Chain A
């Protein structure tokens, strides 16, 4: 089945130690998103790629970076995790033109714990 895969499902890191979360998709969608979801809150968009074009949200901290080496893979890098970065990180994909309203397909998420 075509899907959005996130690895690992659970990640533990230490305060200040860089961490990378991974997302891959077999849907061949051209748009990929990263969301941060804290407990009992709505997902908050961090950034997204339309093909190779990177779109950062204005309020996304510089501590968060992303890479998309090809259509299938997208990475979220947290350069110096703080305790406040502990959250579920969701990857999503969408097919279609820039600015379109197609359905977003979400991965299962990676739960990040910062010690």
Chain B
């Protein structure tokens, strides 16, 4: 079945470091891909998305490119801030299922 695999956390970085959180997916068709962020004690917020191969989603300095050849959607940011500390979820959605399939989440901790 369809699934999303994320790198295990926590990812611990110093402020202004470069961030990569890996996400790969298994899908039988052509899903849309998403990154959601969950700050402590809050619900999920959409961070960015891409709906087809080679699309790049970007928001708040975060970027991810839909790579069909490697079935990946890695999240990157050039310079993280303490306020980026959160749990990041990669997800896919199929056109005909009405559902999001989430990865297990990756906790990011950024220290001053």
Contact = CB atoms under 8 A, between A and B. Distances in A.
Contacts, number: 54
Contact of B105 (A4, A42, A105, A108): A42
Interface of A: 4, 6, 31, 40-43, 45, 48, 50, 55, 90, 92, 94, 98-101, 103-109
Nearest to B46: A103
Contact of B104 (A41, A55, A92, A101): A41
Contact of B44 (A41, A43, A55, A100): A43
Contact of A104 (B100, B103, B104): B100
Interface in B89-103: 89, 93-100, 102-103
Given A101-B95, A103-B49, A45 B42 contact: no
A104 B95 contact: no
A104 to B, nearest CB: 6
